[in-house]
């Protein structure tokens, strides 16, 4: 049997993305409380995500969202990592307010935001170990959040994944 890498690339990406999801899930959490949600976007849903990112570019005037929308069309999958809002009750003031009771509901708990960063870092480390092309994208995460693809998550980041001779998510126009 001859297994051609180009013909098996998408299968490899899907298997690898499952490992990235596990890496994000098992990453350490503040106070040991799991408020992380993780999902993978594939196929036609990547185009839906790109379309929503373009729509946000029109709403916000942020032109880099157009670039990122085009960019994810080169991905075999897009990992989404988000956090559901939950007060941790630490009164740490990291959010900018002296106590959790003083924090407005719309302001994210800083510990939850750190949890997303740690989960993304863990997923990125796993991607590097697997030699995958990736880039963390706030822009595409925002589009996924607006689509409510990680239900209840207010903070969402995206990690598009590709396997190719050149990382399509860097050296962009």
Q: How far apart are alpha carbons 64 and 67 in whole angstroms?
A: 5
For the chain, give the longest Cα–Cα distance.
Answer: 65
Question: Quick one: CA torsion of 141, 48, 38, 148, rounded to 10 degrees?
Answer: 80
Q: How far apart are alpha carbons 150 and 45 in whole angstroms?
A: 14
- Token pair for residue 44? 């036609």
pLDDT in tens, 139-161: 999 999 999 999 999 899 999 99
Mean pLDDT, all residues of the chain: 94
Q: How many CA atoms lie within 13 A of 104 on its CB side?
A: 3
CATH (one of 3.40.109.10, 3.20.20.70, 1.10.8.60, 1.25.40.10) for 5-162: 3.40.109.10
pLDDT in tens, 104-139: 988 989 999 999 999 999 999 999 999 999 999 999
Closest CA to 40 of 63, 65, 20: 20
**Confidence (pTM):** 0.93
Domain range annotation of the chain: 5-162
């Amino acid at each position: 049997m001859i297994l051609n890498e180009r013909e098996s690339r998408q299968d490899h990406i899907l298997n690898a993305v499952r490992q990235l999801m596990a890496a994000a899930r098992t990453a350490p959490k503040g106070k040991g409380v799991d408020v992380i949600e993780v999902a993978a976007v594939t196929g036609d849903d990547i185009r839906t995500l790109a379309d929503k990112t373009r729509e946000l570019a029109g709403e916000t005037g942020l032109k880099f969202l157009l670039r990122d929308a085009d960019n994810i069309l080169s991905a075999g999958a897009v990992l989404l990592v988000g956090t559901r809002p939950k007060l941790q009750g630490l009164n740490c003031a990291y959010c900018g307010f002296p106590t959790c009771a003083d924090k407005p509901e719309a302001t994210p708990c800083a510990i939850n935001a750190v949890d997303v960063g740690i989960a993304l870092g863990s997923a990125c480390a796993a991607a590097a170990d697997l030699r995958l092309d990736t880039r963390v994208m706030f822009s595409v995460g925002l589009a996924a959040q607006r689509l409510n693809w990680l239900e209840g998550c207010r903070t969402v980041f995206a990690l598009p994944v590709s396997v190719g001779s050149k990382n399509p998510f860097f050296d962009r126009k």
